[in-house]
Every structure is written in C-alpha cells, then in structure tokens.
Homo-oligomer: A and B are copies of this chain.
Amino acid sequence: MKTISQRKKQPELVRRTLLDCAMRLGLEHGPAGITVQAVAEAAGVTKGGLFHHFPSRQALVEGLFADLVEKLDADIDAAMARDPKPRGSFTRAYVAATFDDPVLGEGNPGAALYVSAHAEPSVRRRWADWFAARLERHRETDDTPTLEIVRLAADGAWLAHLMREDGGVVPNLTALRERLIAMTLTD
C-alpha cells in the first residue's frame, strides 16, 4: 500500500476533509448548516464528489458519529489501560476524553456527538446505545452515584463550552478537570 500523501488523488484525505468541514459548519451555523452544497464547497469539492464518498447526507452525518465512537473507544481504552486503579477508571477515562483532545476543538468527541446527534436524530439512539453498553461493561467499577455525577458534570462542561462561542462564562477547564478526577479517587 502506497502512502496516501504521495498520490495526487487522495480519496481518504478528501473524505476526512469532508467530515471535518461538516463538523465545522455544524458548530458554526447549527445542524441546519450541514448542507451537501456547503460541505462540498467548504471541502473544495463538488456535490458529485461528496456523493461519491457518502451515498447520502445522512450517511455523511453518520460517518461523523462513527468516527466519534471509534476515536472515543480507542481513547478510553488507552486511558484505562494506563490507569492502575480499577475503581472509577472508566469515569476518569471518560473525563479525560472529554477534556483533553484538541481542547474543545473540532476534534473533540463531544463536538462530534453534539453535531451529529442534532443533525440526524436517529443518531441519538445510537449514542444512547453505545453509552449504555459501555456503562454496563464497567458496571462493577463505575456504578456509583458520585461517579455518575462526575460524568454528568463532564458532559455539562463541554456543553457549557459550546454555548459560549464568544463572550460567555468560560470555566477553568484544567482546574475543573483535576477536581473531577479527584472526586473519582476519593469515592
């Protein structure tokens, strides 16, 4: 397999660009901003080109979600593997995944969920399923009221971050993150 970066036609690169642009548009102009026109144009491609990679608009949005889940699973598994203490390890990994990444940038899993879930309501169900499955998997180590609050607070944190955009209350993310992690350790 050749290196993708050397070929003049780079389908994988275009695909990623399309997904990135879709997310940016979703964040900036709301889910309604994700039109095939706009996304294709932003990615420097025509509609036809977009439909070559994604058979429908819904597939595009679901691609966003699929990427999210893949990345999130990987991040969480990696973080849990590095965690010596079993109790609350999933919650810590979840917090880390929410806060770390290109801190609250476009690569953030929360952002991807946010955009995809609202652009295509069917995704909400899939997210609920994923989360439920993951939670069930770590039931023995992460099923306490305090840990639940920590996870909810993490969700609320990036939600608050998204809401500000410019000129809102920006919580001290690093301090908040450490405090949440601390809560999982003293539980």
Contacts and interface: CB of A to CB of B under 8 A. Distances in A.
Contact of A164 (B29, B128, B156, B163): B128
Which residue, A129, A149, A164, has most C-beta atoms of chain B within 10 A? A149
A70 interface: no
Interface string A10-42: 000000000000000000111111000000000
A64 to B, nearest CB: 14
A87 interface: no
A29 B121 contact: yes
A152 interface: yes
Determine how many copies of this chain the complex contains. 2
Contacts of A140: none
A1 interface: no
A81 interface: no
B149 A176 contact: yes
Given A149-B176, A149-B179, A129 B168 contact: yes
- Chain A, interface residues (CB within 8 Å), range: 35 or more
Contact of A156 (B31, B153, B162): B153
A137 to B, nearest CB: 12
A171 B148 contact: yes
Contact of A169 (B124, B135, B163, B171): B135
Interface of A: 28-33, 117-121, 124-125, 127-129, 131-132, 135, 145, 148-157, 159-160, 162-169, 171, 175-176, 179-180, 183
Given A28-B121, A125-B168, A132-B168, 9 more contacts: A31-B32, A31-B118, A32-B119, A117-B163, A118-B118, A124-B162, A128-B167, A145-B176, A155-B156
